[in-house]
Structure 1
Amino acid sequence: MEKFIFAFENILKEDILRIGMVLDGLYPSDIRVRKEAEFLSKSHEVFVLCNRNEGEEKFEIINGVKVFRAIKRHNTALRGIIDIIASINFIHPLFKRELPKFIDENQIQALHVHDLPLAKTVLLASKKHKIVSVLDLHENYPAALTTWFSWRKNPLIRLKNNIFFNYNRWFKYEAKMIVKFDFLITVVHEMKERIISQHKVLPDKIIVVPNSEKKEFASSFQNNEQPYFNNQKDKFIISYVGGFGPHRGLHTAIEGMKFVKEEIPNALLVLVGPSNKDVKLHLESIIEENDLENFVELRDRVSFNSVVNIMKGSHINIIPHISNEHTESAVPHKFYQILLSGSPLLVSDCAPMKRLVVEKEIGYYFKAEDPKSFAMEVVKINKDYNQATKKSAKGYDEAFNGSLNWEHTSKELLKLYDDLKV
C-alpha cells in the first residue's frame, strides 16, 4: 500500500505519534484494547479515554499507557438511558463533552475509537481538530445487536431494543460511518471482505488485527498446577468457558450430548461462565428435556486461574458458535488461548474458525447447530485421542512459534501508525 500523505495540521514531523484511544468501557479489563494500547505504547505515546468505576483512579499510567477515566460509570438503569440518548443521533453526550479537553491537553494526533457506538462522536471530534481517525471494529455490531437481544423476554427491554437498537438502523449507521474514517481495523479477513463487499470501502483502508494471544499467556498454564477437575478424574471432560449468550451455540453442544453419551458413557459437558436468568433457564430446560442432568453441568463465572486450569484439564475445549452474520465475522480470544493450553480444540464451522482449523491442521470442526455433527466429532476425538493431541501440539506450535500469536499479528497495527509519520 502506498504511503498515505495526510494534510492534517496536527501530524508533526517526528518519530513518535500521540495516539488517543476512545473506549466506552473499562481499562485495562478490555483484553483487545489493552493489548493494542500497550503494544503501540512501545513505539508511540498512547492515551486512553474511558469509563470509570467507583473507586478507580481518574488518571493512571499502566504499562506505559496513560489512562484518563473521565466518564463516570453509572448504574445499569442510568446507563440504559444514556445509551438511548446516544442512539438517537449516535452522539454520546458524555464523550462529546470530554473529547475536546482530551485532545487539546494531550496534543492528540490520531483518534482510535473502539467499536461502532462511539464512531460518530469520535469522527466529528477528529474532523474538528483535523486529526487522523481510526475505527476499530471488534465485531459486526449491527448483527451482534440482533444476536444479543434474541433471548431477552422483558417486554420493555424488547420494545427499547426494537426501536433504538434494531439491525437496519445500525447497519445504515455503520454504512455511513466507515466510509468517512481514514482507516478501519477488523479482527478477521472475513470481516474485511464483508465491508469491502457491502460498503464498497477500498481495501487499502482496512487492516486486520486478530484477537490472537501473547506468547507469554502460555506461562499461565505452566504456573497453574491445581487441577480444576480433580474430583472428576474418571470423566471425559468436554468444556466451554465464556459468555452464555444465544450466539454461543451452547444448546447445540447440550443436545449433542444425548448422542455422545451412547458412545462415551463417562462423558461430561461442563459449561462455565456468567449468564442472565433467562439464558440459564433456557439452557436448563434443554438439559431436562433431554434427560442430561448427569452429563451436562452449568457452572458460574470463575477466576482467571480457574479458566486456564479448565482449558488445560479438559479433554476437549469447544467453541460451538451458531452460524450467523455476527459469528461469521470474528474469532474470539479463547480460540487462541485454547491453542496455547495444548489441549484439543473443537469449533463449529463458522468461516473464520474453520479456515484456521483446516489451514493449520490444529483442531476439529462440526456443522454449526447440528447436534449429531457435534457428537460425531467428539466421538472421533475420543476414539483416536492420540491424533487429537498431535493436532493440539501443532496448534500450540502455531500459537507460540508460528503466525497465530499477538507478536506476529500485531505488526500491521504498528505499520498503520508508523506510516502516519511524515
Structure 2
Amino acid sequence: MRIGVILDKEITKDQRVLNEIKILESHGHEIHVLCPDLLNIGLSGNIGNIKIRRFKMSNRQREILFGIVNRFPLYNWIWQKQVRHFIAATRVEALHTHDLYMAKPVYMGNRKYHLPITLDLHENFPAAIQSYTWATTFPKSLLVVPKRWEKLEKKYLEYADNIVVLCHSFQEELKQKYSSLAKKRFVIYPNVPDVEELLQYDPLSITIPKQDFIMFYFGAIGVRRGLISCFEALKNLTPNYPDIKLLLIGPIDKGDRELFKSYMEDPRIREQIIYYKWKDLSEFPAFARQSAIGLSPLIKNPQHDSGIANKVYQYMLFETPVLVSDCTPQLELIEETGAGMVFRNEDVEDLIEKIIYLYQHPEERKHMGENGKKAVLEKYNSVEVGNALNAIY
C-alpha cells in the first residue's frame, strides 16, 4: 500500500516516526512523507526509499502559528492546502498523521479524497500542553488557550479511522471518556527502540570516571520531567556520597532555563552535575554503559500516564537498571520486567532511599539490567510491536 505520513516536525528528528516507517517499509509498503522544511534542508528528497515532500515554513513561523491556532486558525488552513496537494501529487492510498492537533487539518485536506486516516498519538496532548510553561504563562496563555484542547479532543479523535496510542491504559481511558470511539480501531505502539540500529553503535570513549556512580537522564529537560526532585536528592546525597553524579543530556525547556541554571550552578552540587545540551543517539550506548542507573522521574499527571518515554526502553536495552517515578505505565513495566525500581513521584525522601539502595546493591543492579535487556530483546522492540501497526494497513 502507498501510505502518506504527515508530520508537522522535521522527519529526520523524530525517532518514533522513523521507527514506524521502517516497520511499515519492512512489510512492503511504499512511504511518502509530508513535513515542513523547518531546518532549511530542501523541499524534496529521499531517505533510502522514503520519498519526502517539504514545504516552506521556518521553525519560528511554526511556533507562532501553532501557538495561536485556537485564536487564528491560519496554521490549519496552511496544512489543509498542503495535504490536498500532497495527496494529488503522490496518489497515496492512506494517511498516517502524528499528534492530536493534526487530525483536523488532515481531515479537512482529505475531504475530497476520503482516504482512511490513522491518528498517531505521541502523548496525551490536552494534558501535555497544560503542563508547558510557555503555553500557560500570561500573556501567551490568552493566545494559546491550552484548556480548549480538552474540549477539542473528542472531535479531533473522531476525525480518525484508526488511533495509535502508547499504552493499554491510555486506550481504555479514551474509550471510557468517549463512547463514540467504541467503533474506532485502536493500536498500541509504545516508544520502543529499533534494537538493530542501537546495537550497531560501537562503545565510544567518554570522559566519565568509571569509579563514579552515574545517574543518567537522556532527553528533553524541564520541571514537568521531575528533575527538580533529582537536584534536591543530590543536595542531600552529596555530603555522604560524593561519588554520586547526575548526568543530564538534552535541551532545557525555554521557560525553565533560569530555574535549572540556579540548580546547576548551586555550589553544593555544581561539581556533581555533568551536562550536555545535545548528543547524537549513536553516543547513547556509551553513556548508558558507563551509568549505574537510568532515570525517568516524571511527575505523575494525565500526560505522563499516557505512555513510557523511549529512554526507558533504551536504558533497558543496554542493561542499565532504571529508576522511575510511579506514573502508571512505568510502574507496570517495572513490575512486569523487574528491570529496576519505582519511587513516589516528587517524593524526594523516597527517591533518596531508592538511590541509596541501588548504590549499595550492585549485584541487584546487575540482575535488573539483565532483566531489562531480556525484556526489550524479546518483547519491547519495534519488530515485535510493529506487527500490530502493520495490521492497520
Task: Using the TM superposition, name which of 268-277 and 345-354 deviates more.
Answer: 268-277
User: CA 1:253–1:163 in 2, change beyond 3 Å: closer, same or farther?
Assistant: same
Contact 2:136 2:146 in 1 (8 A): no
CA displacement at 1:291 relative to structure 2 = 2.8
Contact 1:224 1:305 in 2 (8 A): no
Task: Using the TM superposition, name which of 32-41 and 344-353 deviates more.
Answer: 32-41
**What is the number of residues matched between the two proteins?**
390
Deviations 1:168-225 (A, max 9, x none): x11111111112321111111122122112122217521111110112144245x123
Q: Which residue of structure 1 lines up, in the alignment, with residue 11 of structure 2? A: 27
The one-letter code sitting in structure 2 at the alignment partner of 1:212 is V
Deviations 1:39-70 (A, max 9, x none): 2123212111101145423222213221111x
Deviations 1:139-158 (A, max 9, x none): 011111111226976xxxx3
Q: Which residue of structure 1 lines up, in the alignment, with residue 312 of structure 2? A: 335
Deviations 1:56-93 (A, max 9, x none): 23222213221111x213252x3343224533365622
The 3-state SS of whatever aligns with 2:97 is strand
1:258 aligns with 2:238: no
Contact 2:165 2:189 in 1 (8 A): yes
1:86 aligns with 2:64: no
- Pairs within 5 Å for 1:11-410: 17-42=1-26, 43-53=28-38, 55-69=40-54, 71-76=55-60, 78-84=61-67, 86-88=69-71, 92-149=76-133, 158-167=138-147, 169-200=148-179, 201-202=181-182, 205-220=185-200, 223-229=202-208, 232-261=209-238, 263-276=240-253, 278-286=255-263, 291-400=268-377, 402-410=378-386
Task: Using the TM superposition, name which of 44-53 and 200-209 deviates more.
Answer: 200-209
Contact 1:21 1:47 in 2 (8 A): yes
The one-letter code sitting in structure 2 at the alignment partner of 1:270 is L
Contact 2:33 2:52 in 1 (8 A): yes
TM-score for the superposition, normalised by structure 2: 0.92
Cα RMSD, aligned residues only: 2.2
The one-letter code sitting in structure 2 at the alignment partner of 1:241 is F
Distance 2:194 2:263 in 1: 37
Structure 1 residue ranges without an equivalent (≥5): 1-16, 418-422
CA displacement at 1:335 relative to structure 2 = 1.0
Distance 2:230 2:168 in 1: 27
Distance 1:213 1:276 in 2: 24
User: CA 1:150–1:73 in 2, change beyond 3 Å: closer, same or farther?
Assistant: closer
Q: State the identity as a percent.
A: 26
CA displacement at 1:235 relative to structure 2 = 1.7
Task: Using the TM superposition, name which of 350-359 and 235-244 deviates more.
Answer: 235-244
CA displacement at 1:95 relative to structure 2 = 1.6
Structure 2 residue ranges without an equivalent (≥5): none
The one-letter code sitting in structure 1 at the alignment partner of 2:193 is E
Distance 2:298 2:110 in 1: 37
TM-score for the superposition, normalised by structure 1: 0.86
CA displacement at 1:411 relative to structure 2 = 1.0
The one-letter code sitting in structure 1 at the alignment partner of 2:160 is F
